[in-house]
Amino acid sequence: MLTLALHLREQNHSLRDIAARLVITKGKKKGRHPSPATVLRMLREHDELATAQA
């Protein structure tokens, strides 16, 4: 899910568009779309980890 979100962000899609294209694969909300806030949090965490490792 993160890989697709990163790819869509590179293509300048909005958070709403990205969230609409993603599907949760595990847990209680399996098969549903994440909220734009969840997508934002996921992308921020990825960016923070990438910055810390650089």
Tens-binned pLDDT, residue by residue, of the chain (54 aa): 999 999 999 999 999 999 999 999 999 999 999 999 999 999 999 999 999 987
pLDDT at residue 5, rounded to an integer: 97
pTM, whole model, 2 decimals? Answer: 0.88
pLDDT at residue 37, rounded to an integer: 97
The single-letter DSSP state of residue 28 is: T
Alpha-carbon distance of 40 to 54, in angstroms, equals: 21
pLDDT at residue 10, rounded to an integer: 97
